[in-house]
Amino acid sequence: MTLTDDITRSAARIRERASQRGPRVAIVLGSGWQGVTAQVDEATTIHYAELPAFPVVGVAGHAGQLVLGRLGGTEVAVLAGRQHTYEDGHADAMKGALRTLAALGVVTLVQTNAAGSLDPAMGTGSLMLINDHLNLPQRTPLHGEPGSSRFVDLRDAYDPALRATAHGVARAMGQTLHEGVYAWQLGPQFETPAEIRMLRLLGADAVGMSTVPETILARHAGLKVLALSLITNLAAGLDAEPLSHAQTLAAAQAASDRAVRLLEALAAALA
């Protein structure tokens, strides 16, 4: 079977299980954002294992489920978990999932992640809107793609109009929403203090181990992208607290309610 076959079979399975759904917005949930699934009304849940084009997810805090329903009154497809490049070395792990959703009519991808802050003023629990990224590993999910469409323009990879909408939603809720550049590091190890100093010199405001490959895939598929980071720690060298995945999950959980409320309100604004 080819990836195209897997996408066709996955789309057919989704239509079979949720024929009444017509999501135009897809949401990828990172660590700390999983509570969004509990807010989805009239939900239909499909495990990734039932969908041939979807990845195997092997990281704590990522459920590996597709949840279709209504969030903030908007029909959405929520991807509860992603596969990271550090799991098997492949940057295109989410290609089949995102192309399946595009085939189903999704036009907007909202990405979320947990990230470390490079700005002491943007502390743990803060929310940051991504306005650009640094692809530090210089890895692409588009290896082997044919034709001129592989030369994707990433000038406005994170849609300016969607960012303006997000800021408006946050203001209406009285929430502070930072904005900045997200640096993608391959992981799974955390960065060294020297690497963080380098990233600050390069203009990064936050750093994490996801999101950039999916943004490239989404733009290649013609989807508009909005992305949000939940800040779970100050990066190495900016704080004395040791870094660990358990600490990331704990900090993400502590700030989860506020993040989920913002995402629900944002979904309503995208209707």
Domain 3-269 is classified in which CATH homologous superfamily?
Nucleoside phosphorylase domain (3.40.50.1580)
Per-residue pLDDT tens over the stretch 81-110:
899 999 889 999 999 999 999 999 999 999
Catalytic residue among 43, 63, 86, 131: 86
CB distance 165 to 108 below 8 Å: no
Does 84 qualify as catalytic in the annotation?
yes
Domain boundaries of the chain, sorted by first residue: 3-269
> Taking Cα atoms as reference points, which of 82, 271, 261, 258 lies closest to residue 184?
82
Which structure tokens are listed for 235? 């990066």
Catalytic residue among 122, 233, 235, 252: 233
Catalytic residue among 94, 114, 221, 255: 114
> Which residues are registered as beta bridge partners of 182?
133, 206
> Taking Cα atoms as reference points, which of 176, 253, 237 lies closest to residue 245?
253
- Which of 15-19, 143-147, 212-216 has the least mean pLDDT? 15-19
Name the amino acid, one letter, at 164: A
Higher pLDDT, 30 or 163: 163
The arithmetic mean of pLDDT across residues 134-160, rounded, is 95
What average pLDDT is seen over the chain? 91
Does 86 qualify as catalytic in the annotation?
yes
Which structure tokens are listed for 31? 């660590």
Confidence band of 162 (pLDDT split at 50, 70, 90): very high
Catalytic residue among 10, 11, 26, 62: 62
Does 209 qualify as catalytic in the annotation?
yes
**pLDDT surpasses 90 at 174:** yes
Does 114 qualify as catalytic in the annotation?
yes
Catalytic residue among 10, 113, 126, 210: 210
Q: What are phi and psi of 233, to 5 degrees?
A: -170, 160
CB distance 231 to 123 below 8 Å: yes
Confidence band of 34 (pLDDT split at 50, 70, 90): confident
Confidence band of 22 (pLDDT split at 50, 70, 90): confident
Does 245 qualify as catalytic in the annotation?
yes
Does 173 qualify as catalytic in the annotation?
no
Which structure tokens are listed for 23? 């999501």
Percent of the chain with pLDDT strictly greater than 70: 91
CB distance 37 to 29 below 8 Å: yes
- At 10 the pLDDT is 96
Interatomic CA distance for residues 159 and 225, integer angstroms: 6
- At 242 the pLDDT is 63
All residues at 6 or more sequence positions from 73 whose CB lies less than 8 Å from its CB, including other chains: 267, 268, 271
- Which of 30-34, 128-132, 180-184, 266-270 has the least mean pLDDT? 30-34
Catalytic residue among 31, 113, 117, 126: 31
Interatomic CA distance for residues 104 and 89, integer angstroms: 28
> Taking Cα atoms as reference points, which of 244, 251, 207 lies closest to residue 229?
207
Radius of gyration of the chain (CA): 17
- At 60 the pLDDT is 57
**pLDDT surpasses 60 at 67:** yes
Confidence band of 31 (pLDDT split at 50, 70, 90): confident
Name the amino acid, one letter, at 207: V
CB distance 150 to 219 below 8 Å: no
